[in-house]
Amino acid sequence: MSELTFEQMLEESFKTIHTGEVVEGTVIDVKPDQIILNIDYKSDGILPKSEYTNDSSLDLTTQVKVGDKLDVKVLKVNDGEGQVALTYKRLVADRGSKRIEEAFNNQEVLTAKVAQLLNGGLSVIVDEVRIFIPASLVSDVYEKDLSKYADQEIQFVISEYNPKKRRYIGDRKQLIVAEKQKAQEELLSMVKEGDIIEGTVKNVTDFGAFIDLGGVDGLLHISEMSWGRIEHPKKVFKSGDVVKVMIKEINGTKIALSAKFDDANPWKDAVEKYAVGSVVTGKVARMTEFGAFVELEPGVDALLHVSQISKEHVEKPADALKIGDEVTAKVVDFNEESQKISLSVKAMMVQNDKEETTEEEPVEASAEADAE
């Protein structure tokens, strides 16, 4: 048996390694973009930043220090320069893939920071596994602008797991839907029609405003926003406003709201304020072919029929009046049940004429007596 050379004995003292093998290394040097490890092999292992993380801005000196132990995977036994090429992120990704598989099978809720905003959604990273959350699964409502999610931690579940194609899809929408459903059930179990609660304006449309009552939305229709006339909901409310509303109706999961409270109802004492025979003043709010509606106060309109606009014949209301005109007239009819008031300028003018005639008669009589 021939004697072994020193080099041969030295080489045999090191373990053998193979491509794809997972080995433990000890950090013997670290630079911002490279880690060198002793892996008990004749050559040191080289771990570049690109094989440590997907974050190109990361400084490796902030992640490890000399003496740290690190599990790595062998990419090449000889990288062409006599050193062993290693990867850390692929090993973590392999392990992460199993972690994602478990989360997928168990429908576990994961939490991760948004790593990237994409045209079609968000990208998050869990244990070096990149997960895509399509825009349609980011929320329960479509969001065109996803910029508010940048660098934000979000929760999601894995809705699709395909390691062969490296396709991992996250879903945040179903969590939001489930959370809202739970909140809805809790709210509906606590409130009833007639209750007055606070909410926050979530969205304003042409026909009303949607109010967040604590995870559940209720609709405040334009007709229920005020006892007075509302030109447009956006002139009264904006997103974020805190409002006090009354639950008018609960129909299944739909909640109709009202801001017309009884103590502010202008009709509650209208029978005294607008009794038949009283003279009132208001402004023309709208006109039709048969007459003009005069607003006596917010929420109380009275009809001035075309035949009652003047002693003279008026063909149509627009010939004598316009929106915003101030009108003084006499109340000739009041129907409390149907909340209808009828006015007459004509009756007031006739009354004034009679009063003037009555006042003039004694003067004439006195003049005749003096003449005699």
pLDDT tens profile 5-64: 655 554 555 568 889 899 999 999 999 999 999 998 888 999 999 999 878 889 999 999
**93-131, pLDDT tens digit by residue?**
888 889 999 999 999 999 999 999 998 999 999 987 899
Task: Tally the domains of the chain.
Answer: 4
Regarding whether 274 and 342 lie in a shared domain, the answer is yes
Q: What is the 3-state secondary structure (H, E, C) of 202-220?
A: EEECCCEEEEECCCCEEEE
pLDDT at position 164, please?
Answer: 86
pLDDT at position 337, please?
Answer: 86
Give, rounded to a whole angstrom, the gap between the first and last alpha carbons of the chain: 173
Average pLDDT over residues 263-279: 89
Regarding whether 234 and 211 lie in a shared domain, the answer is yes
pLDDT at position 336, please?
Answer: 87
Residue 367 clears pLDDT 70, i.e. is over it: no
Regarding whether 165 and 129 lie in a shared domain, the answer is yes
pTM for the whole structure: 0.56
Which of 183-192, 277-286, 318-327 is least confident? 183-192
Regarding whether 127 and 146 lie in a shared domain, the answer is yes
Higher pLDDT, 207 or 263: 207
Regarding whether 70 and 52 lie in a shared domain, the answer is yes
Does some domain include residue 133? yes
- Chosen domain end from 239, 263, 287: 263
Does some domain include residue 111? yes
- Chosen domain end from 246, 263, 280: 263
Residue 170 clears pLDDT 70, i.e. is over it: yes
pLDDT at position 44, please?
Answer: 92
Tell me the torsion sign for CA atoms 196, 193, 266, 219. Answer: positive
Residue 372 clears pLDDT 50, i.e. is over it: no
pLDDT at position 299, please?
Answer: 86
Residue 241 clears pLDDT 90, i.e. is over it: yes
318 exposed, middle or buried (CB, 10 Å; 0-12, 13-18, 19+)?
Answer: middle
Regarding whether 257 and 321 lie in a shared domain, the answer is no
pLDDT at position 138, please?
Answer: 96
Does some domain include residue 212? yes
Regarding whether 164 and 223 lie in a shared domain, the answer is no
- Chosen domain end from 60, 87, 114: 87
Does some domain include residue 294? yes
Does some domain include residue 363? no
Does some domain include residue 290? yes
Indicate the average pLDDT of the chain: 88
Give the confidence band of 206 by pLDDT, cuts at 50, 70, 90. Answer: very high
Regarding whether 216 and 255 lie in a shared domain, the answer is yes
Regarding whether 112 and 169 lie in a shared domain, the answer is yes
Does some domain include residue 307? yes
pLDDT at position 189, please?
Answer: 87
- 294: CB partners within 8 A, 6+ apart: 282, 283, 284, 285, 301, 302, 303, 304, 327, 329, 343
Average pLDDT over residues 205-227: 91
pLDDT at position 42, please?
Answer: 85
Helix (H) / strand (E) containing 94? helix 89-106
Contacts of 282-289 with C-beta under 8 Å, sequence gap 24+, read 282/326, 282/327, 283/324, 283/325, 283/326, 283/327, 284/321, 284/322, 284/323, 284/324, 284/325, 284/327, 285/229, 285/323, 286/323, 287/317, 287/318, 287/321, 287/323, 288/317, 289/316, 289/317
Regarding whether 277 and 344 lie in a shared domain, the answer is yes
Domain of residue 276, residue span = 270-350
Regarding whether 258 and 299 lie in a shared domain, the answer is no
Average pLDDT over residues 237-265: 91
pLDDT at position 369, please?
Answer: 37
Does some domain include residue 206? yes
Q: What is the CATH number of the domain that holds 284?
A: 2.40.50.140
Beta strands in the chain (DSSP E): 22-31, 34-38, 45-48, 69-76, 84-87, 110-118, 121-126, 129-134, 153-162, 167-171, 196-204, 208-212, 217-221, 242-251, 254-258, 279-287, 291-297, 300-305, 326-335, 340-344
Give the confidence band of 309 by pLDDT, cuts at 50, 70, 90. Answer: very high
